[in-house]
Amino acid sequence: MSSISLSEYAQRRQQLMQRMTPNSIAILPAAPVSTRNNSVEYPYRQHSDFFYLSGFAEPEAVLVLIPKREHGEFIIFCRERNPERELWDGLRAGQDGAVANYQADDAFPINDIDDILPGLIEGRERVYYSIGNNPEFDQHMMEWLNSIRSKARMGAQPPKEFVVLDHFLHDARLYKSPAEIATMQHAADISCRAHIRAMQTAKPGLHEYHLEAELDYEFRKGGARLPAYSSIVASGKNACILHYTENNAALQDGDLVLIDAGCEIDCYASDITRTFPVNGRFSPEQKAIYEIVLKANLEAMNYISPKHCWNDAHDATVRVITAGLLELGLLQGELDELIKSEAYKPFYMHRAGHWLGLDVHDVGDYKINGQWRALEAGMTMTVEPGIYIAADNLDVAEQWRGIGVRIEDDVVVTENGCQVLTNAVPKTIEDIEALMAAAQQAGA
């Protein structure tokens, strides 16, 4: 069971059903199982929408909501109990468990869905269903629809409209409750410990994967089943490859290493980046770049509050980074003009952050009616400015080439500002060097 209470799940379903039109039905399939190779599967991870509405983590399930249905509004189709399969693959809730432990009003075996679901759809005006996300389930939906249509002469009424559910549901997911924020803080705390452990372990001669192993150790020891995304451990110029995940290079004396990694707790993500010197001491050039990125990270926090819009923090990072590159001579010209012409983009080519929640790049609109969205309490996001100087950038002096720095924190908007969930892992040069020096001394 998850750290979110059953009553909170019930509240979420009610909130969604209140926004559904009369005489409608919502249908959400569980995430499919993905095969890795032959008889080996990837670790199963429930679809975030399905999990948000139920906390039910099993595959081969379908969640159905029918507001005001007399015999119950919340229906789960799921696998039947099966002692032999459970001996091999693990316990199943079964239909009794779906009712007793997940508060389903009704539960049916997934193998009976062809016989039961068309009857639940028949006669409804509108079906809420996110078409295109699960091709196999889309196919089933068409078959159920056609089975209703084939009975039209007997008076069966196929639904008139199919509407995607995403807008209502994803807007609700954007506003985190205190229980969700507590879960995200838990995930962030474990990830902070993992980053600290990697800093304490780093030294020339190890490989990137040694640090990844330290991250994984803290994640699992903290109770996280999986990283929220593939960990990036990128030393030297690898840091300039934004989604580098090979993690197999040797750590060189004098290089930085950028680690972007976060675990997932009860399906809620954390997402942290820290950049530190392999040998524990920043060089003057690394320091200069790092200080700009840190200033951008801290400045962005001043633009995260209900008084600001989504893009304000990004704009703040662009200003700090462009001014910093100008001061170092990596850009030449006039500040406002360089910002307007996006001269910073060869060095800072991504956004300053994204929504964070059940998905690491969480759902929810960033613009409303073409305007950047106003921030509101409970919205949760990352702040992750960076500077990346490509190793083959011949427009800059050699000593700058191949330096990549990103500093990423997780932040919740509060009533009058924001709260940082990831402050437990050092990010000033002084604090990082002190932490690494203490670890080197202890190990000496």
Site for ligand GLY in 344-363 (CB under 6 A): 354, 360
- The Cα-based distances of 134 to 52, 171, 346, 359 in angstroms read 18, 21, 37, 17
The reply to whether 384 sits near ligand GLY by the rule CB under 6 A is yes
Binds 229: which of ligand GLY, Mn ion, none (CB < 5-8 Å by kind): ligand GLY
Rounded Cα distance between 322 and 350, Å, is 14
| Angle formed by the axes of helices 113-121 and 135-149, nearest 10° | 70
Query: From the CB of 408, what's the least distance to Mn ion, in Å?
Result: 5
Identified binder of ligand GLY from the candidate list 122, 180, 271, 359, rule CB under 6 A:
271
What is the signed CA dihedral for 359, 360, 366, 372, rounded to 10 degrees? 150
Query: From the CB of 229, what's the least distance to ligand GLY, in Å?
Result: 5
Query: From the CB of 350, what's the least distance to ligand GLY, in Å?
Result: 8
Residue of 360, 267, 269, 270 whose CA lies nearest to 48: 267
Which residue, judged by CB position, is nearest to ligand GLY in the bound state?
Answer: 260
Residues 322-361 as x/- pattern, contact with Mn ion by CB under 5 A: ----------------------------------------
Residue 207 structure tokens: 């490989």
Rounded Cα distance between 186 and 177, Å, is 14
CB 248 within 8 A of CB 207: yes
The reply to whether 229 sits near ligand GLY by the rule CB under 6 A is yes
The reply to whether 380 sits near Mn ion by the rule CB under 5 A is no
Nearer CB in complex with ligand GLY: 237/354: 354
- State the residue for tokens 């399930």: 61
Residue of 218, 229, 320 whose CA lies nearest to 273: 229
CB 316 within 8 A of CB 429: no
Identified binder of Mn ion from the candidate list 271, 312, 359, 433, rule CB under 5 A:
271
Could you report how far apart the first and last alpha carbons of the chain are, in Å?
44
Nearer CB in complex with Mn ion: 362/408: 408
Binds 214: which of Mn ion, ligand GLY, none (CB < 5-8 Å by kind): none
The reply to whether 260 sits near Mn ion by the rule CB under 5 A is yes
The reply to whether 122 sits near ligand GLY by the rule CB under 6 A is no
Nearer CB in complex with ligand GLY: 214/260: 260
Binds 409: which of Mn ion, ligand GLY, none (CB < 5-8 Å by kind): none
Q: Which residues contact 436 (CB under 8 A, 6 or more apart)?
A: 199, 200, 202, 276, 277, 280
CB 356 within 8 A of CB 410: yes
The reply to whether 255 sits near ligand GLY by the rule CB under 6 A is no
Identified binder of Mn ion from the candidate list 24, 275, 382, 422, rule CB under 5 A:
382
Note the residues at the interface with Mn ion (CB under 5 A): 260, 271, 382, 408
Note the residues at the interface with ligand GLY (CB under 6 A): 229, 260, 271, 354, 360, 384, 408
